[in-house]
Amino acid sequence: MESFINALSGFHWALLGAAAACIGGGIGSAIGITYIANVAGGIITEDPDKFGPMLPLVGIPGTQGIYGFITAVLVTVFFGLLGGSGPKLPTVVGFQVFLACMPVAFNCCVSAIYQGLTSVGAAPMIAKRTEEAGKALILPALVETYAVLSLIATILLLLSVKAGMG
């Protein structure tokens, strides 16, 4: 384990964590939005008036990408990666930062994909009755809970790593 951690410097571990969070969220959001955008495209082809009501539904799986991005920003801000104090980061702390980023990296990726699938299921509601658009929006939003929780977990973990640094 020791040698595994020492394979990278602290700075690199921290970068890897931030990047992983951003990549995971981004991949998930991209796939999720692709799913629902496809169906929305079909619906709008037949009924252009549905563009407005469909738009929020298409946007919903996009938040996970933002959470990943936030994580990356938090890592850079908390550990001064931008200010040039990055290379001075101890290896162990860097590794801790990496671990702290994992909830977002995995959870946001998976939840965004499944949120896309759920949105696909909710889209026909809008196709059939526009006035139900709000209800169609709530169902996929239930999936998002777990992305939000993982972001909170990551933030708390990052805070505790920072507190541990003194």
Partner 1 sequence: MAVAKVKKAFIISHHSIKNSFLKELQESGFLQVINLREKLEEEREEVPLEELRSLNLTFSKVQFIHDFLKNFEEKKKGLLASLIKEKFKVTWDEFEKIEEKIDFNKIYQECELLDFNLTHLSNQINYLKASRENLLPWITLKLKLAEIKETKRVGIILGVLPSASLSAFQQELEETFPDSSLGVINEEPQNTYILLFYYKEIYNDLAPLMAKYGLRLVSFPHFEQTPQEEILKIEEKIEKLEQEKEKLIAKARNLLYLKKDIIVLQEYINSRIKRLEVESNFARTKETFMLEGWVLEENENALRQMMEKYSHEVDLTLLEPAEDEKPPIFLKNSPIIQPFETLTRLFGMPDYRELDPTPYLAPFFFLFFGICLGDVGYGVLLTMACWWMAKKLEVSENVKRGLLLFAYGGIASIIVGVLTGSYFGLDAKYLPAFLKRAVIIWPLDNLTTFLLMTIALGIIQVSFGIILAAVNNIRNGQFSKAIYDQVTTILFLWAALSTLTLALTEVMVRVTPPWVESIFSPSLKALGATMLGIVFFHGRYFNRFFESFGNLFELIKKKELMEGAKKLIAFIVSTLFTFSVIGWVVTFFTFKNIHPNLGKLILVSFLLAFLFKPSRQLLVSFFSGLYSLYNMSRYIGNILSYVRLLALGLATGLIAGALNLLVEIFIQQTGFHNYIFSIKGVVVLLMFLVLLSIIIFFHLIINLGMGLIGCFVHPARLQFVEFFSQFYFDGGRKFEPFAIQTKHLVFKE
Partner 2 sequence: MKHLLSFRQFIEPIKYGVGVGRVKVLETKLLSCHQLERLVEADDLEEQLRILAETGYGEFLEDVKTFSEVEEALENYLKKVFLFLSEVCPDEKALQFFQLKYDFQNIKAMIKEKYLQELPDDPFSQLGFLEVEELRNLIKKGNYQEIPEPYKTPTIKAIKQFEEKNDPQEIDIILDQALFEELFSIASFLKNDYLENIVKMMIDLANLKIFLRAKKLKRGRDFLEKAFLENGQVKKENLLEIFHEPLDALISLFEATPYRKILLNIISYGKVDLDFFDKLADDFILEFAKKAKLIAIGIEPLIGYVIAKENEVNILRLILIGRIEKVPKDKLRGRIRELYA
**Cβ proximity to partner 1, 85 vs 145, nearer residue:** 145
Residue 33 and residue 61 in contact, taking contact as beta carbons nearer than 8 Å = yes
Fill in the per-residue mask, 64 to 103: x = in contact with partner 2 (CB under 8 A), - = not in contact: ----------------------------------------
Instruction: Classify residue 25 as left (phi > 0), alpha (psi -120 to 50) or beta.
Output: alpha
Say which entry of partner 2, partner 1, none residue 137 contacts (CB below 5 to 8 A, set by partner kind). partner 1
**Alpha-carbon gap, residue 130 to 165, rounded angstroms:** 53
Is 130 among the residues that bind partner 2 (CB under 8 A)?
Answer: no
Cα–Cα distance list, 30 to 24, 53, 136 (Å): 10, 20, 20
CB of 69 to partner 2, least distance (A): 24
Neighbouring CB atoms inside 10 A of 139's CB total 16
Residue 32 and residue 61 in contact, taking contact as beta carbons nearer than 8 Å = yes
- Judged by CB under 8 A, the residue of 38, 56, 70, 92 near partner 2 is 38
Say which entry of partner 1, partner 2, none residue 93 contacts (CB below 5 to 8 A, set by partner kind). none
By C-alpha distance, which of 43, 51, 52 is closest to 128?
43
Residue 33 and residue 58 in contact, taking contact as beta carbons nearer than 8 Å = yes
CB of 24 to partner 1, least distance (A): 16
**Cβ proximity to partner 2, 41 vs 90, nearer residue:** 41
**Cβ proximity to partner 2, 35 vs 67, nearer residue:** 35
Cα–Cα distance list, 147 to 37, 45, 62, 128 (Å): 20, 32, 11, 29
- Judged by CB under 8 A, the residue of 6, 7, 47, 77 near partner 2 is 47
- Judged by CB under 8 A, the residue of 1, 46, 83, 138 near partner 2 is 46
Where along the sequence are the contacts to partner 2 (CB under 8 A)? 31, 34-47, 50, 113, 116-117, 120-121, 123-124, 127-128
